[in-house]
Structure 1
């Protein structure tokens, strides 16, 4: 035993003066860093910890709402044939400009070795590495209380957490993560690092606050993370505090919260950002590609479209909560998928007049997919982004309207809006010249009804069930 005790002394004696000087400089640097952390804790977290130690406010959670609770049609009628629908008219001929070359897909920078311990994740096909400190693995074993939560925050705030938040910020920038994708990454990291759900929730809350988000912790028998949003969110519970809605967004696998909760009445001074859903998504998943081929008949001739897309992108889009209807048509397809679809549709619309080109896109969307309501396919309301409509075998009215609107915008450059009827969604297109059929005025411009769900309907035809109903108009592409 005594011989072992001599080893550190021998090692110390073998160090050069330069090594000792370097170690001394390192210790001075390390001491300065620790002092900086303590100062940072005092300046930025002391008041917040004070909020956490005070009596927490009881709030009632409210059930998630639906944007349109009206039942959707189960059986879709087929429009009567209109012999002149595809004959040339005096509307301008469409000249389609091919899309720009596909940008290389975003690839994450190579994972650099992390000094110390690291959690490795497969984040929607991207293999990422994030450092952690042992404090982050500390289980929150206490029954939730203001004192226990304040102690947990203080422990994390006093640790060397900055390498973790810096790495999170690097991935956020290099992968072009939206606020939602960032919250998902934080949750995945916490789930893989902390031992059980309350510890994971506490760690997610702490890291999101340190990244500047107005994340809020609440508790009943367990801890719950809630976040504000910059737009309406449907189908998730929420509570209102100081006039602001905090949503129980599905960033983790924890079951939805309901009933009464307790939360603190205060805000960390650096955490003010809501989750921004109005900002378009730019994150693109990686990993294996899925392939799909669609077939539809155009004037008796079968037409096929084939395309690829990252399967993990579907998983990511499926993680999003239900947003306002206007958010769906504007989310572009992944660059390679968009290029493939548009390049195959260009020859079909090139040289046609505006009405013929729009009718072709209408008939494509009407006939290339099986119709099923969300209740039939998903057992709940589930608006689909255009890529999801291209992925799933079936879709319903708002999904088809979103895809059709995006195709009209991308291929034809014509203004398009959504028509939101009770229980049904269609679209309307502003042609360069007046077109026969049903139409309405919006922003001093005449829009002709185009319904991508009404089978074989052409521009100007409204589904009979909604012919006497005035829809809400949702502006999309001017």
Structure 2
């Protein structure tokens, strides 16, 4: 059993009721496992420069995964121009959305370092897998990359993080009506940091925001000439103890901002751009790789061998669409680049690691609450009996505008602003109180249908742009998956209505589990009857389904509550 599985097993055992003495013994056992794992990681990191100085192999990049190939409707569907099914109708049995397994396939042949043979006797010291790192030649590896292959020459401060993206204009909120619920903005505005808190700190820019971080003094190379320089650069950072010095200063700030794994990567890129503006992208990417690896991630430094562009490879807990990737040992590694770099068309080279070194964490791409400085943007959305108003933090919008594409469920399970969501839930509860669940569901349904304007991502943004829930309150237009995420969240959190996020070909919809006799289109799942409740089918009520999907088995992306 590998270290990950032991730790997971230990974590699961933590939920078993035990006596105080047994609990203490278990805690000691679990702590020992964690301590052993940390020591194991330290051993890997101590020899990482040897891996970088070892064999590099080329791999052919895989084309980005596409989320769907079925186009979304250019015009919003409307019951006035179609004939919705209203008689009781059963949809074909739905299917659960599943991700392909990411573990190493059982037939993968991975060469591991071997202890010395009798013909080559060992020293008196115990055999270490890291004394002479022996590379793995993975099945998909191609040519060996010579150590002298060139890295892209110094371009004079190539940034790792793109400048502020051009985003569409937000919704301009009308003044709320007199009877609209008041918004207590004093709870949302953060207190300004006192001047004394900036002593010993310096201001970096992160998506246009001024973020004060502790001053840290270290050096990086200003350019790398060849592949073997990545090992020399790692040693330079090690000699300065950069991992301890920089991470001990930056980690508290990243935690304070609520950064997830991917945004921590982007924050480190912005930090390197700020700290070393004249350095080329290769040493900055190398330094980011160094810090991520010391944070426990299985990130890999890489190179596009035709262009010499430095790259970073990351595994993820979620499927990522629209990004080139490699498959290494049965694991997808997605390619991250500096702005303007296209890794397609060039083989990608990365160093070989022994199997035992492949014990780092994957990136969790979901977001669980960000805490950035507030830039207020007021919103008002009004239809029927519902009026939602408040402020959304405009500073969040550039940060997630080009966020990597994930499955719809991952956007639905992510949270940008917890206080904003609490405010929305409170308003919906207050305004729909006293209504039975069927009527309240239909009121919320038609609010989402008609309170927002419709446009496909391609038409409005020029690229596939799934929204996090909060983005619906900033941009003037949204599409089916954005509405479905917004609707299903409020169904459960404000109305207590169990529901499912559904995917039809080219269309995201929803269904609800409600008591009573509702006529229309439904299906049975795990003993419950779910009725189609589509927030993009304008004018429809719960039970009405777009005619083209009445014979289609939907895919269940997410069930609320989980």
TM-score grouping bracket, smaller chain normalisation: 0.7 to 0.9
Structure 1 residue 170: Cα displacement: 1.4
Map 1:212-361; keep pairs closer than 5 Å. Answer: 212-219=296-303, 220=305, 221-249=308-336, 252-258=338-344, 259-266=346-353, 269=357, 272-278=360-366, 280-298=367-385, 304-332=387-415, 334-361=417-444
CA 43–403 in structure 1, closer or farther in 2 if over 3 Å, else same: closer
Structure 1 residue 254: Cα displacement: 4.8
Aligned to 1:193: 275
Cα offsets for 1:382-408 (capped at 9, x unmatched): 111111122111111111101000110
Aligned to 2:132: none
> Which structure is larger by alpha-carbon Rg, 1 or 2?
1
CA contact (8 A) 2:445 2:487 kept: yes
Structure 1 residue 473: Cα displacement: 1.6
Q: Could you say what secondary structure the match of 2:219 adopts?
A: helix
Aligned to 1:7: none
Q: Could you say what secondary structure the match of 1:435 adopts?
A: coil
Number of aligned residues: 412
Cα offsets for 1:258-317 (capped at 9, x unmatched): 231110111695960111125x4222222311112223245xxxx543210111111222
TM-score between the two structures when normalised by the length of structure 1: 0.79
Aligned to 2:66: 66
More helix by share: 1
Map 1:308-457; keep pairs closer than 5 Å. Answer: 308-332=391-415, 334-457=417-540
CA contact (8 A) 2:384 2:443 kept: no
CA contact (8 A) 2:60 2:347 kept: yes
Which of 211, 214, 220 lines up with 2:295 in the alignment? 211
Structure 1 residue 338: Cα displacement: 2.1
- Return 387-396 or 420-429, whichever deviates more: 387-396
- Return 54-63 or 193-202, whichever deviates more: 193-202
- Return 166-175 or 55-64, whichever deviates more: 166-175
Structure 1 residue 237: Cα displacement: 0.7
| Structure 2 Cα separation of the partners of residues 451 and 105 of structure 1 | 35
Unaligned runs of 5+ in 2: 1-39, 87-184
CA contact (8 A) 2:405 2:466 kept: yes
Q: Could you say what secondary structure the match of 2:69 adopts?
A: coil
Aligned to 2:162: none
Cα offsets for 1:328-377 (capped at 9, x unmatched): 22234523322333333234311111111111111111111111111111
| Structure 1 Cα separation of the partners of residues 273 and 359 of structure 2 | 22
**RMSD between aligned alpha carbons?**
3.0
Cα offsets for 1:153-210 (capped at 9, x unmatched): 1111111312211112212333332112211211110111232212221111111111
Structure 1 residue 443: Cα displacement: 2.1
Structure 1 residue 112: Cα displacement: 5.0
Aligned to 1:5: none
| Structure 1 Cα separation of the partners of residues 542 and 58 of structure 2 | 54
CA contact (8 A) 1:108 1:174 kept: no
TM-score between the two structures when normalised by the length of structure 2: 0.68
CA 170–69 in structure 1, closer or farther in 2 if over 3 Å, else same: same
Q: Could you say what secondary structure the match of 1:153 adopts?
A: helix
Aligned to 2:266: 184
CA contact (8 A) 1:121 1:129 kept: yes
CA contact (8 A) 1:131 1:164 kept: no
CA contact (8 A) 1:389 1:399 kept: yes
Q: Could you say what secondary structure the match of 2:265 adopts?
A: helix
CA 248–332 in structure 1, closer or farther in 2 if over 3 Å, else same: same
Q: Which runs of 4+ in 1 moved over 6 A?
A: 101-110
| Structure 1 Cα separation of the partners of residues 264 and 390 of structure 2 | 28
The higher-RCO structure (CA 8 Å, 6+ apart) is: 2
CA 42–455 in structure 1, closer or farther in 2 if over 3 Å, else same: closer
Structure 1 residue 458: Cα displacement: 0.4
Cα offsets for 1:2-24 (capped at 9, x unmatched): xxxxxxxxxxxxxxxxxxxxxxx
